Amino acid sequence: MAQNSRKPGYELVKGFFKENPVLVQLLGICSVLAVSNTVVNSISMGVSVLFVLFFSSLVIGLIKDLIPNEVRIPAYIVVIATFVTVADLFLKAKFPDISKALGAYIPLIVVNCIILARQEAFTKKNKLLPSILDAIGMGTGYIITILLMGIIREILGFGSIFGVKIFGSWFKPILVMILPPGAFLTLAMLIGFMNFITRKSEEKKL
């Protein structure tokens, strides 16, 4: 599996489903569970992660040859933390409501395993362009997953989507979906579903 020989297009799309960071690699679960109770929160968190992932991969891709191997992890974390703080301040300044809703979880992107893991597993060993494509792909995969969670949980838990009620008064929201247990159960089902599909397609190949 020589990663360098793969087509750039593949680096981009692999993160969407096949190597989805959350559903397949089980990275960054913490934030997916925490802020996916509404669609708006999901999108904001997803975009923030994509932003941080993109710029971290860009900067680390540029300077990786200058960093001695022994201190690479602290160096990566500083770069990531910088962009996370930038994103945090930006949201506070321009989108105070979203910043309030996401609360403590924006700063925690810094320890979101997706970002550090991609630097370790990919950016470190690859050229700049594939690294950036990988970052965009993984970020998008993260957005897809968290958005899916947000849609499911908001519809079932609030009976609304984007804050707009979509059912009549007959619908009693399933409160637990927006509470922590609902987050665990929804993600478990999504990962299970993903496993199911992967297994089926592998069986077909055989």
Partner 1 sequence: MRPLIIFVAAAITNNFILTYFLGLCPFLGVSARVSSAIGMGFAATFVMTMTAIITNLVDHLILRPLHLEFLQMIVFIFVIAVLVQFVEMVIKKTSPSLYKALGIFLPLITTNCIVLGLALLGAMRNYNLIENTFFGFGAGVGFTIALLLISGIREELEVRDVPKALKGAPITLIIAGLMAFAFMGFSGIISLQ
Partner 2 sequence: MKNEFRMVIVLTLIITIAGCLLAYTYVSTQDDIQRNLENSMRTALLSVVEGVESYENIALDEKTSVLKAKDSNGNVIGYGVMITGGGFQGDIKLMVGFDKDASAVLGIEVLENVETPGLGNRIIEDWFKKQFEGAIPPIEVLKGQKPQNRSQIEAITGATISSKSVANIVNNAHKALETYLGSGGGGESAGRGEEEILEYFEKRWPEKRLIKKGTYYVINDKSGQSISYGIFSEGVEGGDTVKIFMTVSKNFSKIEDIVIMNGSEVSVDKEKLDELQKRLIGESLPLSSSNVEVVTGATIIEDGVVSAVNKGFEALKKELK
Contact footprint for partner 1 (CB under 8 A): 26, 29-31, 33-34, 73-74, 77-78, 81-82, 84-85, 89, 104, 107-108, 110-113, 116, 176, 179-185, 187-189, 191-193, 195-196, 199
39 binds partner 2 (CB under 8 A): no
Is residue 178 near partner 2 by the rule CB under 8 A? yes
43-55 as b/e: b if 16+ CB within 10 A:
bbbbbbbbbbbbb
The span from the CA of 113 to the CA of 97, in Å, is: 26
Q: How far is CA 191 from CA 22, 97, 186, in A?
A: 8, 31, 9
Pick the binder of partner 2 from 2, 66, 164, 206 (CB under 8 A). 66
Amino acid sitting at position 99: S
Look-up: residue for tokens 């950016």?
Answer: 123
**Nearer residue to partner 2 within complex by CB, 70 or 202:** 70
Q: Which residues pair with 161 in a beta bridge?
A: 164
- The verdict on 70 binding partner 2 (CB under 8 A) reads yes
Instruction: Kindly write out the interface string for residues 89-108 of this chain, putting x where it contacts partner 2 by CB under 8 A and - elsewhere.
Output: xx-xxx-x---x--x-----
Q: Which is nearer to partner 2, 155 or 178 (CB)?
A: 178
Q: How far apart are CA 162 and CA 181, in angstroms?
A: 22
The CB-of-178 to partner 2 minimum distance in angstroms stands at 5
Helix, strand or coil for residue 160? Answer: strand
CB 143 within 8 A of CB 47: yes
Q: Which amino acid is at 71?
A: V
For residues 92 and 74, give the distance between their C-alpha atoms in angstroms, rounded to a whole number.
26
Q: In the complex with partner 2, which residue's Cβ is closer, 66 or 164?
A: 66
Q: At closest approach, how far in Å is the CB of 181 from partner 2? A: 12
Q: By the criterion CB under 8 A, which residues form the site for partner 2? A: 37, 63, 66-68, 70-71, 74-75, 78-79, 81-82, 85-86, 89-90, 92-94, 96, 100, 103, 157-158, 173, 175, 178-179
